[in-house]
Homo-oligomer: A and B are copies of this chain.
Amino acid sequence: MKISVEPKLLADTVAWAASVLPNQAGHPILSGIHFEAADGSDAVTISATDNDVSVRATIACNEVAEPGRALLPGRVLNEAVKTLPGRRYVSIAAGERETTFQCGRAEFSLPIMAVKDFPALPEPATTVGSVGAKELAEAVAQVAPATAHHSSTPMYVVVRLAFEGEILTCVGTDSYRIATSRTTWTPARPGPVTAAHAAAVSLRDLLRGFADGEAAIGLNESLLSLTGDGRTATIRLIAIEQYINYQGGMSITFPSWAEADRADLLEAAKRVALFTSKDEAVYLTLTDDAIHIGGGTGQIGKGSDVIDCRFDGDEAMTLKFQPQFLADAISAVHTDRVRIGVLAPHRPCLLASTDEQYRYLCMPLRADS
């Protein structure tokens, strides 16, 4: 393989590929980033996988002098291409013992890895429709914080993608709360309701590599794939027989709603949380024209704030939250104002964007918490 590419384009693409390299040293071959310049093409495909996720991106070459393949140590490659001067093309030449990168007078070479041992990446699954890649990335990023960091229950570490008509709903839950974010997609053909589950963090990270514009969604029994703008990613699906019944909770009709400025409420929630220890709650009291927010028993300190709001409830109502759960919800809201739907102090409540695209249902803590 002997090619020449633009340094900035190379660095961006390698950075995306490096983002899926496995952290464990268990599979040395998976620490490699794979380059392939096909015969007669003027592009190179750069790919990487950790066996659950695969990413590949095809970028234009200035020149493909010699088609071929190379497998390169991913992490050091990523660090090195970041530092290349952006002014000139980088020539990449794979030899028998090493692959050489040359950019102006800067040069480096990396040892050869056994390209034949690199696993074949899964093909994209059958296309079922298309979606705005950035919109999907944002929806997944909104619901991922509501999943568990670690759990032996698969349902609590995945994002569910539910395809219904032209609505694609992303869902995340750790059993204490459920977040949903709706976006639209264009099904290739009218189909039955279907859903897929993928590891929340991996899905969020691989989606970060997609630019604006439509991407094709592929889906089969075991794989979700996304293809757009020269990039393809696949992620292994996680089988979940019975997902939590979030539609039930999400379809609750809330008789009372409060609405307040998102930035003000988030700032106050974060400040008040500083004064709570791990087991202490922050409380929100919704009144006619203000949300009173407070937390802390005094050992660390106590904090409170008052945020203007509109509340259509009959009487003031106090809700208690685990501090991080409240901040997670408000952080994920993408509109200038946040809406809070309530039933009663110890019944589920809903935090939502004003466009209701994002909804976060959680159970307030008991009064004695």
A contact set with B: CB distance below 8 Å: 73, 76, 79-80, 83-85, 98, 105-111, 267-268, 270-272, 274-275, 296, 298-307
Contact = CB atoms under 8 A, between A and B. Distances in A.
Nearest to A81: B271
A111 B298 contact: yes
11 contacts: A76-B301, A80-B271, A80-B303, A83-B270, A83-B271, A106-B271, A107-B303, A108-B272, A108-B296, A109-B302, A111-B298
A107 B274 contact: no
Contacts of A274: 76, 79-80, 83, 108
Given A105-B305, A106-B268, A106-B271, A299 B111 contact: yes
A11 to B, nearest CB: 12
A303 B270 CA distance: 47
Contacts of A107: 303-305
A302 B106 contact: no
Contact of A302 (B85, B108, B299): B108
Nearest to A293: B106
A16 to B, nearest CB: 20
A83 B267 contact: yes
A20 B79 CA distance: 34
Contacts of A85: 267
Nearest to A100: B302
A90 to B, nearest CB: 13
Nearest to A85: B267
Nearest to A103: B305
The 7 closest A-B pairs by CB, nearest first: A108-B303, A105-B306, A110-B301, A83-B271, A106-B305, A109-B302, A107-B304
A267 to B, nearest CB: 6
B111 A80 contact: no
Contacts of A83: 267, 270-271, 274
